[in-house]
């Protein structure tokens, strides 16, 4: 499964779009539940199976949905599960407990719909760069399509009802994946994070809830789904993103004027290690790529482009690496083969 | 002063000679004093000046000595002093106290004679690789020449008398500069050092007494100058060198079979950093070159040769770097320019 997918970069990491030098991608996720059915977390197995069959039948009746790739959770092996998580197409929670679950992956992997994750439906859309509107439009297109066939649990006061009340209302979460090496290096990041948090947003690492910050990649998302219109959430995340981008630019400017040699040295060493190392962990690659990405934007290493950096970032992840080489490997083998893959990808780049 | 010298590698670091993959160089030093004169450490200024004038007159009368480059310590500025120390042509002690001192540098810098260091004369000869005999022969050739003109302080029981009794007897010290990354990595180095020490030899860092071990370079020298014939000292140091070389080879073999990936990774990363860094301290260069030198011998980075590694080692030292670029620089400038020099030297090397 997913062999072809593993060989091509994810569209949402293409390095295209607005502000793509700092914002890797924008995600919008909608939580929806089918009226009259218990939510997956409290439902019995029969109910969960019924939800899947409802969704199956939507697929047969919807032209747009039927074009997606559709998988049963139980049919996805462990490596492919990890692969889909790394590709941000499913969440780790999707694999917990009972596997009466399915996932639909839309064209170009910009869309995925998880059935029976925490809610009956989790519809998410991804865009490269800072583009909350088109992620929202894409998610809504599928939401509207499904709503022709299924009735969602909706309260005129509360809005959409969800398994966890923090998601009720719009049922919407918008998030950006943003690269902030400048603010980390100037040590202003904590100040910025606490201001974002006070403004009612959440800041996390690359892999979402509870994950470490690797490669100076931060996920910023809205916390409030209730009492705000969708358009307000989209403007809020976009506005916050623009503020952070400006602060990151300021930090980079400061580094350039106060510590140019140190920064250039850090960038070149990272490039030198990526180009020559024989053993590389996935975490180290993320951190080294962070320096190289900064170097590209600061015009220190202009010969390497963002889409290649993103491709290496994606392929360096354990499941991607194993899928890319078509074989399961232990940790040591992965670290060895990862270094080989990175060298191959960087072979023709250089000053 | 020394502008030409600064542009060319030192002969004793040419990477030629026996066992030159492990032993960088062999040095033999003879301590001699002029009969009937107090030793420099206790002599008054007049006596020290008289010793210099004696040596001056030897130079005018000896064809072989007159061919050397001859300098008064007082004429050598601070940067050139450091330069000569880095080049192992004078000792740090040569610059202490009263500067009624001179130094003669023989052809190809393989020979130097310090007048009024700790003893009236310190005659030292250097060879590339493991070659105690030819260093000894060269030093003795100059010693014999001088002895035609000056009478040395000699006691038929004790042998040559010296300022410090530990040098009395042969007045000779033989030492090798040896590269032991394998034994350091397998952590067997302490065991080896304590055995060498028990056998009556001394182990020190690159710059002699009290210096840190940088770049896994060790100086091993004889401690006893009394009660042993010169030939015995030469065989002892050569024999010990061969034992250490064998143990180092064993350590490298062990690393190759037990941790080949780790070692290759270390070597390639060192090469990658040297080739790309923008800021490099002299200590870091020594340590990185150690890995690259190991890589050359282990046939991991065969495209770089020992003489280039030695040249970079020499030029990376602070005074060499400033002489090479013909300008005095502060620490930060040096670290920046050093990285530039290393990149230039490695420009055409690569896999």
Least confident of A52-66, A219-233, B325-339: A219-233
Query: Which residue in A261, A271, A272 is closest to B279 by CB distance?
Result: A261
Longest dimension (CA), chain B: 64
* Digit-coded pLDDT (tens) for B317-327: 999 999 999 99
Say if CB B163 and CB B38 are below 8 A apart.
Answer: no
* Strand arrangement of the beta sheet that strand B23-32 belongs to: B69-72, B102-105, B111-115, B121-128, B23-32, B172-179, B217-222, B201-204
Which residues are bridge partners to A75 per DSSP? none
Residues of chain A found within 8 Å of residue B264, distances taken between Cβ atoms: 278
* B268 contacts A332? CB cut-off 8 A: no
Residues of chain B found within 8 Å of residue A276, distances taken between Cβ atoms: 268-269, 271-272, 275
| pLDDT for position B210 | 54
| pLDDT for position A98 | 82
* B332 contacts A265? CB cut-off 8 A: no
Domain presence at residue A324: yes
Strands A154-155 and B217-222: unpaired
Domain presence at residue B4: no
Query: Which residue in B265, B275, B339 is closest to A279 by CB distance?
Result: B265
Which residues are bridge partners to A188 per DSSP? none
Say if CB A318 and CB A82 are below 8 A apart.
Answer: yes
ipTM score of the complex?
Answer: 0.85
* B277 contacts A276? CB cut-off 8 A: no
Give the total residue count for chain A.
351
* Digit-coded pLDDT (tens) for A95-107: 888 889 999 999 8
Say if residue A240 is in the same domain as residue A256: no
* A264 contacts B278? CB cut-off 8 A: yes
Domain presence at residue A265: yes
Domain presence at residue A351: no
* B261 contacts A276? CB cut-off 8 A: no
Q: For the residues B239-263, what does the mean pLDDT come to?
A: 95
User: Does residue A234 carry a pLDDT above 90?
Assistant: yes
Residues of chain A found within 8 Å of residue B275, distances taken between Cβ atoms: 272, 276
* Helix-helix angle B230-276:B132-147, to 10 degrees: 120
Say if CB A288 and CB A190 are below 8 A apart.
Answer: no
CA distances from B221 to A163, B16, B179 (A): 77, 21, 14
Say if residue A81 is in the same domain as residue A195: yes
Closest-CA distance, A222 to chain B, in angstroms, reads 41
* Digit-coded pLDDT (tens) for A320-336: 999 999 999 999 999 99
* Digit-coded pLDDT (tens) for A247-267: 999 999 999 999 999 999 999
Quote the CA–CA distance of B206 and B204 in Å, as a whole number: 7
Residues of chain B found within 8 Å of residue A275, distances taken between Cβ atoms: 272, 276
Say if residue B153 is in the same domain as residue B191: yes
Residue A8 half-sphere exposure toward CB, CA atoms < 13 A: 9
Query: Which residue in B264, B273, B279 is closest to A272 by CB distance?
Result: B273
Query: Which residue in A261, A268, A277 is closest to B268 by CB distance?
Result: A277
Domain presence at residue A1: no
Say if residue B61 is in the same domain as residue B163: yes
| pLDDT for position A12 | 85
The predicted model scores a pTM of 0.89
Residues of chain A found within 8 Å of residue B262, distances taken between Cβ atoms: 279
* Digit-coded pLDDT (tens) for B210-225: 556 788 999 999 987 6
Residues of chain A found within 8 Å of residue B271, distances taken between Cβ atoms: 276
Q: Which of B228, B248, B268 is the last residue of a domain?
A: B248
Say if residue B16 is in the same domain as residue B160: yes
Supply the Cα-derived Rg of chain B in whole angstroms: 21
Closest-CA distance, A251 to chain B, in angstroms, reads 21
Say if residue B265 is in the same domain as residue B169: no
Say if residue B65 is in the same domain as residue B36: yes
CATH number at residue A64: 3.30.590.10
Range of the domain at B17: 11-248
Chain B interface residues (partner A, CB cutoff 8 A): 261-262, 264-265, 268-269, 271-273, 275-279, 332, 336, 339
Q: Where are the alpha helices (DSSP H) in B157-204?
A: 181-185, 189-198
| Residue B37, both tokens | 């004169």
User: Does residue A211 carry a pLDDT above 70?
Assistant: no
* B262 contacts A277? CB cut-off 8 A: no
* Digit-coded pLDDT (tens) for B26-71: 999 999 999 999 999 888 999 999 999 999 999 999 999 999 999 9
* B275 contacts A272? CB cut-off 8 A: yes
Residue B220 half-sphere exposure toward CB, CA atoms < 13 A: 33
Query: Which residue in A262, A269, A332 is closest to B276 by CB distance?
Result: A269
User: Does residue A90 carry a pLDDT above 80?
Assistant: yes
Say if residue A277 is in the same domain as residue A167: no
Given 3-state DSSP classes, what are the helix, strand and coil percentages for chain A, each rounded to the nearest 5? 50, 15, 30
Residues of chain B found within 8 Å of residue A336, distances taken between Cβ atoms: 261
Q: Which residues contact A29 (CB under 8 A, 6 or more apart)?
A: A122, A123, A124, A125, A139, A172, A173, A174, A175
Quote the CA–CA distance of A337 and A322 in Å, as a whole number: 9
User: Does residue A3 carry a pLDDT above 90?
Assistant: no
Say if residue B223 is in the same domain as residue B286: no
- Looking at residue B205, the DSSP 8-state letter turns out to be B
Query: A53: closest CA among A102, A94, A112?
Result: A102
* Digit-coded pLDDT (tens) for B65-91: 999 999 999 999 999 999 999 999 999
* Digit-coded pLDDT (tens) for B181-221: 999 999 999 999 999 999 889 998 876 555 567 889 999 99
Query: Which residue in A261, A271, A278 is closest to B265 by CB distance?
Result: A278
* Digit-coded pLDDT (tens) for A53-70: 999 999 999 999 999 999
Residues of chain B found within 8 Å of residue A262, distances taken between Cβ atoms: 279
| pLDDT for position A166 | 83
Count how many domains chain B has: 2
| pLDDT for position A99 | 85
What is chain B's mean pLDDT, rounded? Answer: 92
User: Does residue A165 carry a pLDDT above 70?
Assistant: yes
Say if residue B238 is in the same domain as residue B317: no
Residues of chain B found within 8 Å of residue A265, distances taken between Cβ atoms: 277-279, 339
Closest-CA distance, B264 to chain A, in angstroms, reads 7
Say if residue A210 is in the same domain as residue A241: yes
Q: Which of A197, A219, A248 is the last residue of a domain?
A: A248
Say if residue A34 is in the same domain as residue A123: yes
| pLDDT for position B117 | 94
Residues of chain A found within 8 Å of residue B261, distances taken between Cβ atoms: 278-279, 332, 336
Q: For the residues A118-135, what does the mean pLDDT come to?
A: 96
| pLDDT for position A2 | 86
Domain presence at residue B1: no
Quote the CA–CA distance of A249 and A242 in Å, as a whole number: 10
* A269 contacts B273? CB cut-off 8 A: yes
Q: Which of A225, A248, A271 is the last residue of a domain?
A: A248
Domain presence at residue A4: no
| pLDDT for position A72 | 95
| pLDDT for position A207 | 60
Closest-CA distance, B213 to chain A, in angstroms, reads 25
Query: Which residue in A268, A278, A279 is closest to B276 by CB distance?
Result: A268
| pLDDT for position B208 | 53
* B265 contacts A277? CB cut-off 8 A: yes
Domain presence at residue B167: yes
Closest-CA distance, A335 to chain B, in angstroms, reads 10
CA distances from A252 to A181, A185, A203, B288 (A): 8, 9, 21, 30
Say if CB A285 and CB A347 are below 8 A apart.
Answer: no
| Residue A100, both tokens | 């009466």
User: Does residue A146 carry a pLDDT above 90?
Assistant: yes
């Amino acid at each position: 499964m997913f062999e072809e997918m593993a060989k091509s970069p994810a569209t949402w990491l293409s390095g295209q779009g607005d502000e793509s030098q700092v914002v890797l991608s924008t995600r919008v996720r909608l939580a929806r539940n089918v009226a009259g059915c218990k939510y997956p977390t409290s439902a019995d197995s029969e109910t969960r199976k019924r939800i899947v069959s409802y969704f199956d039948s939507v697929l047969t009746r919807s032209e747009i949905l039927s074009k997606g790739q559709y998988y049963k959770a139980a049919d996805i092996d462990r490596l492919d599960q990890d692969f889909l998580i790394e590709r941000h197409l499913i969440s780790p929670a999707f694999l917990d407990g009972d596997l009466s679950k399915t996932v639909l992956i839309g064209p170009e992997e910009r869309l995925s719909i998880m059935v029976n994750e925490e809610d009956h439906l989790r519809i998410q859309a991804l865009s490269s760069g800072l583009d909350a509107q088109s992620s929202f439009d894409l998610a809504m297109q599928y939401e509207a399509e499904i709503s022709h066939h299924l009735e969602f649990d909706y309260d005129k006061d509360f809005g959409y009802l969800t398994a966890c009340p923090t998601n009720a209302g719009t049922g919407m979460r918008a998030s950006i994946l943003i690269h902030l090496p400048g603010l980390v290096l100037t040590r202003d990041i904590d100040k910025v994070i606490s201001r974002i948090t006070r403004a009612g947003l959440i800041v996390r690492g690359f892999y979402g809830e509870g994950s470490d910050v690797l490669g100076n990649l931060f996920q910023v998302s809205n916390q409030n789904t209730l009492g705000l219109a969708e358009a307000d959430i989209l403007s809020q995340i976009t506005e916050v993103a623009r503020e952070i981008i400006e602060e990151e630019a300021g930090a980079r400017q400061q580094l350039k004027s106060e510590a140019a040699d140190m920064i250039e040295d850090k960038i070149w060493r990272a490039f030198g290690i990526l180009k020559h190392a024989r053993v590389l962990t996935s975490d180290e690659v993320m951190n080294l790529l962070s320096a190289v990405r900064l170097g590209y934007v600061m015009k220190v290493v202009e010969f390497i482009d963002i889409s290649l950096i993103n491709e290496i970032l994606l392929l360096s992840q354990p499941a991607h690496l194993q899928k890319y080489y078509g074989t399961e490997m232990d940790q040591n083998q992965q670290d060895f083969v990862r270094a080989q893959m990175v060298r191959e990808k960087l072979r023709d780049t250089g000053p």
